[in-house]
Amino acid sequence: MRTLFAGYARWSRWQVLDAVLAVGVCIVGLMLLPDGLSGPHRVWEVTVLAAAGLAVAFRRQWPAAAVTVAVAAFLAQLTGSGPHWTTTTALTATVYTLTAALPRRAALTTGVATFVTVGIGGTLLGEGVPLLELAIVAAAVAAGDAARQQRAYLAAVEDRARHAEHDREREAGRRVAEERVRLARDLHDVVSHQLALIHVHAGVAAHLLARRPEQAETALGHVRAASRAALDELAVTIEMLRHPGDPAAPVEPVAGLARLAELTDALGVAGLSVELTTVGSPRPLPAVVDAAAYRIIQEALTNVRRHARTGSARLCVDYRQAELCIAVDDDGVGAPAGTTGNGTRGMIERAAAVGGRVVLGPRPDGGFRVTAVLPLPEEG
């Protein structure tokens, strides 16, 4: 008994509905059989009804076999005296199911074959052309084809929705990754330069504290100024991250070439003399290009101070018609140590973000060079 119920549980609700419909067709057909049928004729009619019921019950599992059985039951019933509507019902249901299940060309071919078989067989075995049955077969074929197209359309819509959702998730993941890289780059730019200055001034203060305390006090003042600047920029950056898009949030300090003098002065105090050369006519730059240029120069000069073991560097800013060219040169010996870190990656990423490029490497006559080329809108 448990095995029997387990088998029923595996039936789908549509199979159960088909079984109920088949039983109903058979019961109603039996009720409408003429009372005066003799034994062999009654057995024949009952067999035809049973065949029609089986075709309806198993039309989803074996649709082609179900149509064959339904057509045979219809033609067989034409030779008897039972109600034709029972086999017509089976014919309609099975043809619809088969047409909806097959590809369009195969479905139409099967529908035409069924239409011809019913027409010729009905004409030969019945009392004329079975116009009603032919119309029903044609309607079942059309309905099945429409149902198949509807299912295909819905499947395509669902597939597009799944792909769109996948694309949205992938795009969201890409944007998150890009945002993480941007945040890491910004935090590095905000903190590393000031920390490098703090490190230099703290070393100077420690060296002078015992011998020249008045000069050590000056160095410690530079440490305080640099640390305060770093804390202020870091606080503003963190506040912006906490309240993205909030107009009341503090505005990030503008990083641009207008702050070059401030940058070179701070590096000069830290022991790096920067010779600045400007070629061409300075002009207002797009904000993103201006910020990228400043951060690239800042990182390149900071690397010179930290790694090149030299006290001087040369900076050239060349305003060309369609691009801004930046070159930072030094005559030091320690540059390779600064060419593989986060700062170097940040310079390359910032240039790429505005459509530019960064090239860096040893100079033929010694020292190191960082060159950045950033595209500019042409002057009108």
Mean pLDDT in consecutive groups of 10 residues from the start of the chain, 380 residues: 44 69 70 60 71 78 83 76 70 83 81 81 74 81 85 86 84 76 70 68 66 66 70 69 57 70 81 89 88 88 82 92 92 60 81 90 87 82
- How far apart CA 30 and CA 68 sit, in angstroms, is 22
Number of Cβ within 10 Å of residue 226's Cβ equals 23
Structure tokens given for 369: 């060079």
What's phi and psi for 329, nearest 5 deg?
A: -120, 150
Contact 335, 368 (CB under 8 A): yes
Q: What is the pLDDT of residue 357?
A: 93
Contact 91, 71 (CB under 8 A): yes
Q: What is the pLDDT of residue 6?
A: 43
pTM, two decimals, is 0.51
- For residues 108, 114, 118 and 124, what is the CA-based torsion angle, rounded to 10 degrees? 110
Q: What is the pLDDT of residue 336?
A: 47
Contact 374, 354 (CB under 8 A): yes
Q: What is the pLDDT of residue 148?
A: 84
Q: pLDDT by residue (tens digit) across 169-207?
A: 888 778 777 767 776 777 776 666 667 667 666 766 666
Q: What is the pLDDT of residue 94?
A: 83
Name residue, tokens 């006090």: 217
Task: Give domain limits for the chain.
Answer: 2-129, 257-380
Q: What is the pLDDT of residue 241?
A: 65
Tell me the residue type at 310. Answer: T
Q: What is the pLDDT of residue 254?
A: 55
Q: What is the pLDDT of residue 216?
A: 64
Contact 346, 295 (CB under 8 A): yes
Contact 279, 241 (CB under 8 A): no
Annotation: CATH topology of 257-380: Heat Shock Protein 90 (3.30.565)
8-state DSSP, 336: G
**Beta-strand runs (E) in the chain:** 273-279, 312-319, 323-330, 357-362, 368-375
Nearest Cα to Cα of residue 18 among 91, 68, 93: 93
- How far apart CA 186 and CA 174 sit, in angstroms, is 18
